[in-house]
Amino acid sequence: MEHYERVWAEVDLDAFTRNLYAIRGAVSPKAGIIGVIKADGYGHGAVPLAREMEGMDFVQGYATATAQEGFSLRRAGIRKEIFVLGYTFPSDYPEMLRQRIGAAAFTEQMLSDMDRAGREAGEKMRIHIAVDTGMSRIGIRPDDAGIRFVRTAAACPGLEISGVFTHFAESDETDKTRAEAQFAAFTAFAERIRRESGLAGLRFHCANSAAILDMPQTHLDAVRAGIILYGLWPSDEVDHVHTRLEPILSLRSHVVYVKELEAGREISYGGTWKTQAPTRVATIPVGYGDGYPRSLSNRGSVLIRGRRAPILGRVCMDQFMADVTGIPGVETGTEVTLIGRDGGEQITMEELGGLSGRFNYELACCLGRRIPRLYKKDGKTVQIRDFEA
């Protein structure tokens, strides 16, 4: 079954696999890949993508943003390592232990709560120690107190240190000065841990997508690949040449109404577009209720029959209008591409992210629950996720 009419997203699992092999080719051979699939795999669907990565030996595991995202992966039978990148709440620790979900740790309170939960469960809570080298979000400082923190963690019987990590704030910019300073602080701290705590074999990781592409020296023991898994770019400034990535998601719909408007007619709420000449206008049944940004009003366009049709007037919650004057053969039922390719034309998440004043990451995450996801292999639909079915 793949009879979706109003709106649907196609996720190309073959392109996803090609992206992973391209990333593997870009990553230092001694580093494993951690697939960052938070926020439901940046809106693409964490479970179907994790299933693809289960069989790839170079993928060590997955990172999520919340414990609940980890639980949903385990519920779906995902078995590799999972850890949570952000804060986790003590009420979740028992379940995280049962499901072998690791946690970021960065306060003494977290260590003692996690240690107690581990001892009570008769298991070890797996932790990744977060180090703040300049992002100022979460993490211990890489200083003397930081060394004491690592020693304390290592001495807790209910804990196992699975990794030590930091996160770059500006690795996606051309000027890598700050990213390099963060990296230097991190490697110096790693060296101190090795020397002063006597802990051997710790896994150090810091590279996000931008650092994977642009800063090979940062790959260390593992890299955390996020946006590039999906064939999207961390920014315009990173190297787009050496790693071949393909966007894996396309968003499509159908025209539901076509009409001719005479000059001087206003279109949509607020009358922000007024026709200057006779105009052929198509109505498309998608809107910001689906996560299609309202800020594309009078700015964005869609592809119809391989041509660009500019958006006219405001994007409504569930519908918007586009100019199809000069595109022959548009009628009710004609396919519309909101993101993806149609003939020689392409609309990327990056283009819409820029035009809408959002951001490609944000746009992908915000694709709504009203949009069914169809997973394709060899051109065939192999799975459907329809939240409203």
- Between 133 and 250, name the residue whose CB sits nearer to ligand PLP: 133
Q: What is the dihedral of CA 371, 341, 59, 200, to 10 degrees?
A: -100
- Between 36 and 374, name the residue whose CB sits nearer to ligand PLP: 36
Question: What is the C-alpha to C-alpha distance for residues 17 and 21, in angstroms, rounded to an integer?
Answer: 6
Question: What is the C-alpha to C-alpha distance for residues 261 and 252, in angstroms, rounded to an integer?
Answer: 25
Question: What is the C-alpha to C-alpha distance for residues 243 and 106, in angstroms, rounded to an integer?
Answer: 34
The active-site residue, picked from 21, 259, 269, 274, is 269
Kindly state the number of chain residues that form the binding site for ligand PLP, as judged by CB under 6 A. 11
224 is a contact residue toward ligand PLP (CB under 6 A): yes
- Between 252 and 358, name the residue whose CB sits nearer to ligand PLP: 358
- Between 167 and 314, name the residue whose CB sits nearer to ligand PLP: 167
Interface of this chain with ligand PLP, residues 129 to 188, rule: CB under 6 A: 167
CA 345 to chain centre: 24
Closest CB 33 distance from ligand PLP, rounded Å: 11
Question: What is the C-alpha to C-alpha distance for residues 299 and 373, in angstroms, rounded to an integer?
Answer: 26
- Asked whether the beta carbons of 333 and 252 are under 8 A apart, the reply is no
46 is a contact residue toward ligand PLP (CB under 6 A): no
Is 62 marked active-site?
no
Part of the chain binding ligand PLP (CB under 6 A), chosen from 154-162, 224-232, 254-262, 278-286 = 224-232
Interface of this chain with ligand PLP, residues 182 to 221, rule: CB under 6 A: 208-209
Of 163, 226, 287, 372, the one binding ligand PLP by CB under 6 A: 226
* Adjacent-strand bridge partners of 337: 252, 303
Residue with tokens 């209910």: 158
Give Dmax over CA atoms of the chain in angstroms: 79
DSSP 218: G
x/- letters, 228..247, toward ligand PLP (CB under 6 A): ------x-------------
Closest CB 65 distance from ligand PLP, rounded Å: 7
- Asked whether the beta carbons of 26 and 214 are under 8 A apart, the reply is no
Closest CB 136 distance from ligand PLP, rounded Å: 13
Of 11, 23, 31, 36, the one binding ligand PLP by CB under 6 A: 36
DSSP 349: H
Closest CB 369 distance from ligand PLP, rounded Å: 21
Closest CB 222 distance from ligand PLP, rounded Å: 11
- Between 36 and 327, name the residue whose CB sits nearer to ligand PLP: 36
Chain residue whose CB lies nearest ligand PLP: 226
- Asked whether the beta carbons of 219 and 202 are under 8 A apart, the reply is no
Q: How is 264-324 classified by DSSP, letter by letter?
A: T-EESGGG-EE-SS-EEEEEES--GGGT--GGGTTT-EEEETTEEEEEES---SS-EEEE-
x/- letters, 75..114, toward ligand PLP (CB under 6 A): ----------x-----------------------------
The active-site residue, picked from 38, 124, 176, 376, is 38
Closest CB 313 distance from ligand PLP, rounded Å: 34
Question: What is the C-alpha to C-alpha distance for residues 283 and 188, in angstroms, rounded to an integer?
Answer: 58
Q: Which amino acid is at 320?
A: F
Is 38 marked active-site?
yes
- Between 171 and 268, name the residue whose CB sits nearer to ligand PLP: 171
- What is the C-alpha R_g of the chain? 24
In the complex, the residues that contact ligand PLP under the rule CB under 6 A are: 36, 38, 85, 167, 208-209, 224-227, 234
Active site residues: 38, 269
